[in-house]
Amino acid sequence: AQSVTQLDSQVPVFEEAPVELRCNYSSSVSVYLFWYVQYPNQGLQLLLKYLSGSTLVKGINGFEAEFNKSQTSFHLRKPSVHISDTAEYFCAVRGSQGNLIFGKGTKLSVKP
Amino acid sequence: NAGVTQTPKFQVLKTGQSMTLQCAQDMNHEYMSWYRQDPGMGLRLIHYSVGAGITDQGEVPNGYNVSRSTTEDFPLRLLSAAPSQTSVYFCASSYRVGSEKLFFGSGTQLSVL
């Protein structure tokens, strides 16, 4: 069965600092991985996705993630965060029936 | 395009009451789904549909019913509300099951007293 584990429930950082949000996955089929972002009182939006090809994936708002098959990880990174990046971030893997299976989320709090 | 529209945005129910959460999309998407979001639990799939007339259960289907009579609409029915169903509910759709991108509605916050 497919699953994802987000290793940190909360990540506080200062503005302009780098950040890494960690995600490990488990999958017995072809791996398709996603990061979604949820701003307060909104639905989720796709940030980036890995389907195949280059292991370094670039998304919107300066975020990127690296697919690491040997470590079964898909960590999300940004070199310099802004106050506006404060949100909850969800890692997801496509399940065997095509549905997305989400992690429990990581709340990123960017402080001035 | 309105995208995915959910109504109502907020609802308070008493235990035992029934209600329907509405979801509509205008993107001609085949795939529609319902998730519930609880603190520290992430999003859990309740039911999904891969086309009109076809529905299936997700991870947490008990206490909920769905139907898909048209491509556009995918209502979620709570048969007899329980406090454990207090949650934020999201409807999401995509072109087809397994598509690269899910489009989410803005959510329905439900409290069951």
pLDDT of residue B54: 95
DSSP string for chain B? ---EEEE-SEEEE-TT--EEEEEEESS--SEEEEEEEETTTEEEEEEEEEETTEEEE-SS-TTEEE--SSSSB--EEESS--GGG-EEEEEEEESSTT-S--EE---EEEEE-
- Which residues of chain A are under the pLDDT cut of 50? none
Q: Which helix (H) or strand (E) holds A44?
A: strand A44-50
pLDDT in tens, chain B (113 residues): 689 999 999 999 999 999 999 999 999 999 999 999 998 889 999 999 999 999 999 999 999 999 999 999 999 999 999 999 999 999 999 998 877 789 999 999 999 99
Spatial contact of B74 and B92, defined as CB atoms under 8 Å apart: no
- Residue B92 CA to residue A56 CA, distance in Å, equals 27
Q: What is the pLDDT of residue B98?
A: 78
> Looking up tokens 């975020």, which residue turns up?
A63
Nearest neighbour of B48 by CB, restricted to A9, A99, A102: A99
B4/A44 touch (CB, cutoff 8 Å), yes or no: no
Which tens digits make up the pLDDT trace of A45-76?
999 999 888 899 999 999 999 999 999 999 99
Interface test with chain B among A50, A60, A100, A101, by most B beta carbons within 10 Å: A100
> Among candidates B27, B16, B13, which has minimal Cα distance to B89?
B13
Q: How far is B28 from chain A (nearest CA, A)?
A: 18
Residue type, A77: R
